[in-house]
Structure 1
Amino acid sequence: MERPKLGRLATVAIVVGDYDEAVAWYRDRLGLDVVEDTDMGEGKRWVVVAPSSGAGARILLAKASGEAQQSRIGNQTGGRVGFFFETDDFARDHARMIAQGVVFKEEPRHEPYGTVAVFADLYGNLFDLIEPRKAAATKE
């Protein structure tokens, strides 16, 4: 049997406590664009943010509904980094993010795969800011 040929991973969901506070944080702190904000009725919205470059997956800001979802706000991945933003200039974006009030959980570190630091969103979800090693540098 032939395997499916899926396209790119288009969207990931992050459970949030409030649409407007989440939009403001991701827009103002990370510089993401609001690419969709559709009222779905009954207090629900389809809110999607994404890098202005259009590269990579988009983020659906999904408001928690019920106790089970509320309990996951800020800890969707059990305390692990669950989301990764790449940059072509770590120092530039790290400094810009700090200036915008983003809280980094550690100092930048150099790993075999690149320069990285962990930061948290307004709810405590963990992200990596990473500048991957250049492909040429890995062919040493």
Structure 2
Amino acid sequence: MPAIMPHARIATVTLVVDDYDRAIAWYTEKLGFALLADTPLGGGKRWVLVAPSADAGARLLLATADGEDQKNRIGDQTGGRVGFFLETEDFARDHAAFLARGVRFREEPRHESYATVAVFEDLYGNLWDLLEPSI
């Protein structure tokens, strides 16, 4: 079956947060992400985009929770599974840098057939894989 959208890509994923500035600080200071946009939308809402770099491809939209249902999802957007994957070309370098910045890893690095990987949690407890693909 031919691709319906052969040139489409996943560009942005929403991450529900409790506070824009706190989330920006964590992602830029702890993970070294770039702040790509911080645009007021009115009513206290903002369009906040972060990414590992300006040309990294996929970005995170940091969106403050609106209502109790969304507040209850902060830190558990994927039901306790790893929901975000941060690929690197140098696992040892980035793992050491994250540890030095206070990022909390849930495990020691491990070598799998697909990558060197370790699970860490963000400011809210969402789980991420830091991984260096082996292929």
**Bin of the TM-score, shorter chain as denominator length:** over 0.9
Secondary structure at the counterpart of residue 127 of structure 1: strand
The residue identity in structure 2 corresponding to 1:10 is A
Distance 1:89 1:64 in 2: 34
Distance 2:114 2:52 in 1: 22
What is the aligned partner in structure 2 of residue 118 from structure 1? 119
Q: Please tell me whether residue 14 in structure 1 is matched to residue 15 in structure 2.
A: yes
Question: Which residues of 2 match residues 1-140 of structure 1 at below 5 A?
Answer: 3-5=3-5, 6-52=7-53, 54-133=55-134, 135=135
Please list the CA deviations of residues 2-37 of structure 1 after superposition, one character each: whole Å capped at 9, or x if unmatched. 652151110001000000000000000000010000
Secondary structure at the counterpart of residue 124 of structure 1: coil
Contact 2:107–2:118 (Cα < 8 Å) also in 1: yes
Among the aligned pairs, what percent are the same residue?
64
What is the root-mean-square deviation of aligned Cα atoms in Å? 1.4
Contact 2:117–2:129 (Cα < 8 Å) also in 1: yes
Q: TM-score, length-normalised on structure 2? A: 0.95
After superposing on structure 2, the runs of 4+ consecutive aligned residues of structure 1 that deviate more than 6 Å are none
The residue identity in structure 1 corresponding to 2:102 is G
Q: TM-score, length-normalised on structure 1? A: 0.92
- Structure 1 unaligned runs (5+)? 136-140
Distance 1:12 1:86 in 2: 16
Distance 2:104 2:131 in 1: 15
- Structure 2 unaligned runs (5+)? none
